[in-house]
Structure 1
């Protein structure tokens, strides 16, 4: 402690607030370069500062008040604390901290673009999966038919469509036994019909043993093959489940931030530093990067526009009038399907574990 005190300048030599001093001192340790090395890197760009060092440098950016205090200090610079001395020396470089932000922007640009393009690609695939999944559409058809059969003679009978939100309520509707849910019934029906379809297309043509099998054995075959198919829907709609974790607002904000960062960099090198001869290396390097960034951002914005259009189309396909859909989460349709797939997987596991499968019956338990 005594040794530390002896190295610390007297309070009168401090220009910045104690807490701010402490923060900058911590950042200096992470930066681990001298003020001269930092100045050299900022002037020549790409001269040995890594991502973590640039992040530390950007966090040091002084407020206008702090800049004024440091500029106004006329005493011996060597009598200042290491943190204040470092920042003061850095301020001798024109737009030092804006340069650091520009270098950090360039360093992280590719990773950001790759992440966003990957997210938009995932959304694109999710829209394709939902639109083209024969089995998912077959399940929706079975749900609609079941609902209409239950509502015969009521104003709800004869429905031609339903909102996907209704899928999540299927497990809430229980039969007279208090155990079987409407989802169980729908799954059993689709399992049997899909099992028959697979049997007719493969086993009926290849395996002639069916001719000698009992009705019970055939039903078990239908059930087994149908369950294999239906339980595979989660894998088939892989991108739909992944997309449910995305936040479209966050993605749009990230694209906007990249665009804002490019505009800020553009202003720095083509306005503020355009006449500074000593900044020639920095300006040339950043101008070259700006051409690259502009091309990539244009592609990214086109991807964003295209995927938003596809999300709107898939929402209209399943929900009708988009204006009535919850605008707070445009990706809600994927969240609903993901949650439904979780319920479907659970029911398939239960049905697979049944020793004696329930025979496909009419809606008796729900009357």
Structure 2
């Protein structure tokens, strides 16, 4: 059985400059009038005739900013002197094995799994280009690099017995070692990613804690909720000399509001508080109406912040940044004019930015500590055990808010659903009442007409 070959409908595209590849699986749609290719055991099944398919109708969008796109996604290519492709000539000489069997196997597996020409590895290392060889692959290459002892043995063999080829794993390590300062280059490259992840994580934690503290101290809606709790609590404690007439309350009570039930156990105090707040809202069902309390997720994230741990993480990043800077200087000093760029410019730019970010987060940490301390003071929170305010861990303070915020949000959603249901039922009752009135009028009109007819 012959397989029909689909003719390509589109003309080839020739970018003005080399572009980064996009590894997709191409789908070919036969031109109209040409029969679809016959399915075989190695090709996907052909859709039934008349089936509407996206790719049959979807046309490429016109890209106006193609020049900008080319600039953004073009691929840096190392300019190399033209070299003749090595021809693998059959050789009777057995390749030299220097590594032990397990080590040789590990290096060989990695080299084979990359599925790229060694020039692509060079391009990635020289130009920080991960479009073909990604960062994970570079990290694996870095981890299997030759030890000083292995490299000495490999180089000794190459210099003394050049006629005996190296085995593939040894050859791979030898070619890597021929790239000037390749280990330090990859190390600097990897640290950029690690630093970005680390500093972003710290920034996210601290900013969330700051914004949560800001909400707790400035939100008017939260103050309204707390005012409702205070009023209800004072009412419940009326006549009690030790608990009544309070101007405020300890945050420990927040988590217990859900446990205070009505006498018939049909509703909790927290339910009543939520309903009381909703009655104060002009439209509690208004789309986009924000919760009057902090988001439970923000509270839970704030609980995970440990100032000592954040400080330790920042100090670690600072030490690693210094090591990276030292390696950068070493690579630049040992590089030639041909291979010093773009490493030099990219690393100098990164180091300048990283130092600025690190300084910013160190200041951010101190600002967070002050903000947190101010928030505790705002609520007149007194830690147990006589712990100094400066030593209070955020989890101890925010743990008082977490169950309250979570329960409040759950009840808030349920109450909104209840109001929607009541509103729907009320609208239905009004509509039914209107229909009944209209029906009654029609019936009355019919009786009057009949009565007139009888008199006539």
TM range, smaller chain: 0.5 to 0.7
Q: Which residue of structure 2 lines up, in the alignment, with residue 342 of structure 1?
A: 409
Structure 2: runs of 5+ lacking an equivalent: 1-92, 424-456
Counterpart of 1:29 (choices 113, 118, 139) is 113
* 1:18 and 2:18 aligned: no
More helix by percentage: 1
Q: CA deviation at 1:231?
A: 9.6
Aligned-CA RMSD value: 4.4
Q: CA deviation at 1:183?
A: 1.0
Counterpart of 1:309 (choices 364, 367, 370) is 370
Q: Which has the higher contact order (CA 8 A, sep 6+)?
A: 1
Counterpart of 1:180 (choices 267, 278, 283) is 267
Q: TM-score when scaled to structure 1?
A: 0.65
Q: 1:334 to 1:181 in 2, by over 3 A?
A: closer
Q: Which residue of structure 2 lines up, in the alignment, with residue 232 of structure 1?
A: 289
Q: How many residues align?
A: 314
- Equivalent pair of 2:142/2:183 in contact (CA under 8 Å): yes
- Equivalent pair of 1:129/1:240 in contact (CA under 8 Å): no
- Report SS of the residue matched to 1:244: helix
- Report SS of the residue matched to 2:142: coil
- Report SS of the residue matched to 2:262: coil
Counterpart of 2:320 (choices 253, 258, 261) is 261
Aligned pairs for 1:225-304 (under 5 A) are 225=283, 227-228=284-285, 232-234=289-291, 241-242=297-298, 244-245=300-301, 247-249=304-306, 255-256=314-315, 258-270=317-329, 272-273=330-331, 275-278=333-336, 280-281=340-341, 282-283=343-344, 285-304=346-365
Q: Which residue of structure 2 lines up, in the alignment, with residue 53 of structure 1?
A: 134
- Equivalent pair of 1:13/1:79 in contact (CA under 8 Å): no
- Equivalent pair of 1:129/1:239 in contact (CA under 8 Å): no
**Structure 2 CA distance for aligned equivalents of residues 164 and 228 of structure 1:** 29
Aligned pairs for 1:1-367 (under 5 A) are 13=97, 15-16=99-100, 18=102, 21-22=105-106, 25-26=109-110, 29-30=113-114, 32-34=116-118, 37-39=120-122, 42=125, 45-46=126-127, 48-50=129-131, 53-62=134-143, 66-73=147-154, 74-75=156-157, 80-93=166-179, 95-106=181-192, 117=203, 120-152=206-238, 153=240, 155-192=242-279, 194=280, 198=282, 225=283, 227-228=284-285, 232-234=289-291, 241-242=297-298, 244-245=300-301, 247-249=304-306, 255-256=314-315, 258-270=317-329, 272-273=330-331, 275-278=333-336, 280-281=340-341, 282-283=343-344, 285-318=346-379, 320-321=381-382, 323=388, 325-328=392-395, 332=399, 335-336=402-403, 338-349=405-416, 352=419
Q: TM-score when scaled to structure 2?
A: 0.55
Structure 1: runs of 5+ lacking an equivalent: 1-8, 199-224, 357-367
Q: 1:20 to 1:12 in 2, by over 3 A?
A: closer
Q: CA deviation at 1:181?
A: 0.7
Deviation per CA, 1:25-69: give whole Å up to 9, x if none. 2476347341x5534654xx4263449623322233348994433
**Max Rg structure:** 2
- Report SS of the residue matched to 1:145: helix
**Structure 1 CA distance for aligned equivalents of residues 325 and 397 of structure 2:** 33
